A and B are shown apart, each in its own frame.
Chain A
């Protein structure tokens, strides 16, 4: 049984949409960067906003997909010990790992809020928006990671995890 199939429908829907939005952002990033080259050589008018916007999109989509990765378990790790451990130890290690991710999620969200507030008055010159926009994805991803890790902990306690 895959991790995804164990998740309840609401979580599955959030993960699915996170990945869809992330994929759309990647496509948009590609188009923006392609437009940058086209505008420079064909229109002879290099856009000033393209790099910064593409970079901002990347920050959002990475965090969304990284949070989805906690739910789907696709982040890479060394599973040598995990794979060969007897079931009780394996269960303990899985719980320990998810607890760590839960802690990181909470810490990331709290510190993300701090950084967003701290930079709220600063403006990204080429976009004219607050620099806080670069830190809000960390807040969102932190909250989602913590929620998904909590859910994985529940699943491990209930079924033994995967």
Chain B
């Protein structure tokens, strides 16, 4: 009955359109009320869930991403990617993937990426006679590579949701190979589709232009090096490195690029506080919700239920992947990470999966959800920018889904895909 109260309230409120943070908190409080647990425990858990030093990396990474958006670093990355890939058939599609991978490496936000790259590249692709729906499909799916290529604030959310026992540095390292595989896979698929559709190759502007665009893009790209290098060398904690990334971005944007003015700075900081307030409220509420999950022994019950279906780990992994993809199509990424991690992580570690590997699998699944209707926020933003209908875009996106599924299969069934780099450098 407790589970019915907990999940019934959650589902009912979600369907009624109540904001996710409040759904989580209210359902936890309702269950506490039903079980005669004082409600103050819920708020104490919520405060404890927010009072974590490592969490400060989230606002800093989001702030750095917003500053990069405001200061036009994205445009410089696009120019570099254009010099690099434009000569290939379907080059602008490859430029979109390449730019998104680089932008992901410095911002970590898929929505920011599709906004920045979509505005810059979809009009160009349309001009070069690419199907607008295909242009949006490529840009939206490419934006999700940033979720895996470090830094990714979603990985920090996962590390916190996992109870703080998972190293953020290991997660960052673990995301690199799957992120690159996803990006390369999307490039290959885009190339073949471009050949089939007869999209033209662009012009090669010469090695000098390539070198020049690289030099211009380099200060922006260096922030990723500072973040990763700082964490891996032990110079900074993840939180410190994210704050340094903000300061570095401000310096580069104002002194090197001279593209960030006072209004842009205010806009970036206001956007950042809005996004982080939204995310952190979810994390705080999820802390209360997660405590109720533990009290009601949901992970144990789920584990028993899964094992009753099959004791074969491969089958259990398949079931969990299907469930995560389905959930990802209905809800945004950060709430799902905080809801599903305490439920599925004990089950996954129970069948021998490394928590770092599960984190990457989770983010990849939910990333697929971001570009899948009915609630694929990244796809929706891409469609809005490209001025195309979601239902038409879906007809062109499915080959790119196949790339996701291949990478998901590798991450799920070949642990080295994600665990090799943490083992080598962690």
CB-contacts of B219-277 with A (<8 A): 235-236, 239-240, 243-244, 246-247, 266, 269-270, 272-274, 276-277
Q: Provide the residues of chain A in CB contact with B117, threshold 8 Å.
A: none
Asked if A30 CB lies within 8 Å of chain B CBs, one says: yes
Interface string of A121-157 (1 = CB under 8 A from B): 0000000000000110010000000000000000000
Closest 7 CB pairs of A and B: A65-B277, A75-B19, A33-B243, A82-B17, A23-B269, A22-B273, A77-B19
User: Which residues 265-299 in B have Cβ within 8 Å of A in the complex?
Assistant: 266, 269-270, 272-274, 276-278, 280-282, 284
What does the 1/0 interface line of A14-50 toward B look like (CB < 8 Å)? Answer: 0000011011011101100110110001000000000
Number of A-B contacts (CB under 8 A): 162
> Contacts A23-B269, A76-B335, A81-B17; is A66 near B281 (CB within 8 Å)?
yes
Q: How far is the CB of A14 from chain B (nearest CB, A)?
A: 15
Write the chain B residue with the least CB distance to A27: B269
Q: Are B375 and A80 in contact (CB under 8 A)?
A: yes
Sample of 16 A–B contacts (CB below 8 Å): A22-B273, A23-B273, A26-B273, A34-B244, A37-B236, A58-B55, A78-B14, A78-B375, A79-B17, A80-B330, A81-B15, A81-B16, A81-B17, A93-B17, A97-B16, A100-B13
Query: Knowing A34-B243, A62-B281, A80-B374 touch, does A101 contact B273 (C-beta < 8 A)?
Result: no
Binding site for A on B (CB under 8 A): 13-23, 25-26, 29, 39-40, 42-44, 46-47, 50-51, 53, 55-56, 59-60, 63, 235-236, 239-240, 243-244, 246-247, 266, 269-270, 272-274, 276-278, 280-282, 284, 330-332, 335, 374-375
Give the Cβ gap from A149 to chain B, nearest Cβ, in Å. Answer: 10
- Interchain CB contact under 8 A, A107 and B51: no
Which residues of chain A are near B63, meaning CB under 8 Å?
A: 26, 30
* Chain B residues whose CB sits within 8 angstroms of the CB of A103 once the complex forms: 26
Residues of chain B within 8 A (CB-CB) of A77 are 14, 17-20, 23
